[in-house]
Amino acid sequence: MALRRTRARLAGTAIAAIAASVALVAVNGPAQGLNTNKTGAPDAAAGGFPAYYTDDSGVSLQLCVDGSARCGGATATDDGGGGPGVAVSPDGEGFYWMATATVRSPRGTIDVEFAHEAAWASATQRFVFDRTRIRGDMKPGKYTLLTPYGRTRFAAEGTGQRNVNLTQDLGCAQERGGRCAGKMTNFLRAVGAPLGYIGNGASLTKVAGGTERNNLVLLGPDGSAIGRTARFAITGKLADGPAAILSKQMVKFGNTSRVAHQSVTLRNRGTESLTLQGIRVVGDKNLKLDPTGCAGRASLGSGADCQINITYRPGARTRSAATLVVDDNTITGWHRVPVRTGVPR
């Protein structure tokens, strides 16, 4: 793959940008928090950074410091790219989560990176931040990239090599509460990831999760689509213990006047048994759970899965919004997926 495997270390300008973001967060508070549900306590083995971060769907990831290639090679003393590790100041860094992809087009190629990253700015200042990075070689002009986390605009200037070099960091100081401001509220995760991880860090694969889409679309200067990809390399290690992963980021029944059925696969990708304490749909009385699949299970062993079966019986001629909720013994105690029903024809 065209994307370089080495991890870029934070330069002085990047640290300054992060520090400016921290100052803004400290004054105004986070506009959007990745860890809206729960953040782990500081972990001495991870340089004092939080033990884990949890996204809006209930997926909890720990900092990758175990030296595995599945975590990008980061350890307490080595960031995997030849530089200091997460527990070394001033420029050590590690990753809770990373998604990388390459988009090719007739006007050139860009490498794209999204990350929830940990870094030292000094011997005492710790930062956790969301990163969007776009680098590549493109014909001069202004471009827009449609991503799982919104639109990002960038420009290609001149005709030299790597004439696209955009990095956007938004983060927070751990000493000030550790809530990272950002818009990456749902981690992308690889389909078919190894047990205990949400990706192997190397293979390009289709993904689930995200906030707005599960692909990248590159728009040219005239606004037309000139390149796209739906395959990412995902780096992320699940927090120790059970880990419930739901196969869909949203359940859609669409417009129907007939009884309809949808299924969601619940997988335990963690290292311990998952206890199912309840499965429910809240928000729409026309949605019912079938007493099959997961409904008849009390637990799922590591690596096991089951089906959650939902029946929709159309009632009032209005759209409705509901939520599938799984109560369990994971860090958050629950996992959830939005359910949308349409207007009967």
Domains and CATH numbers, the chain: 12-238 (no CATH), 244-341 (2.60.40.10)
Q: What is the pLDDT of residue 16?
A: 43
> If we measure between CA atoms, which residue out of 300, 238, 308, 307 comes closest to residue 274?
300
Q: For residue 268, what are the contacts with CB-CB under 8 A and spacing of at least 6?
A: 242, 243, 244, 245, 274, 300, 301, 302, 303, 304, 305
> Contact, 118 vs 128, CB < 8 A?
yes
- The whole-angstrom separation of Cα 230 and Cα 215 is 4
Q: Give bridge partners of residue 84 from the DSSP assignment.
A: none
Q: What is the pLDDT of residue 25?
A: 31
Q: What is the pLDDT along the chain (345 residues), one digit of tens a residue?
A: 333 333 333 333 344 444 444 333 322 222 233 444 578 888 877 777 888 888 888 889 988 876 666 676 677 777 766 667 777 755 677 888 999 999 999 999 999 999 988 877 666 777 788 889 999 999 999 999 999 999 999 999 887 788 999 998 876 654 444 445 566 788 999 988 888 999 988 899 999 888 878 999 999 999 999 999 999 999 999 998 999 988 887 898 877 778 999 999 999 999 899 999 999 999 888 899 988 889 888 999 999 999 999 999 887 656 677 999 999 999 888 888 889 887 655
Going 332 to 333 to 337 to 340, the CA torsion angle's sign is negative
Is the previous residue joined to 140 through a cis bond, with omega within 30 degrees of 0?
no
Give pTM, 2 decimals. Answer: 0.81
Q: What DSSP element (H or E) covers 61?
A: strand 60-62
- The whole-angstrom separation of Cα 193 and Cα 2 is 21
Would residue 149 be called left, alpha or beta, if left means φ above 0 and alpha means ψ between -120 and 50 degrees?
alpha
- The whole-angstrom separation of Cα 106 and Cα 222 is 14
- The whole-angstrom separation of Cα 32 and Cα 158 is 35
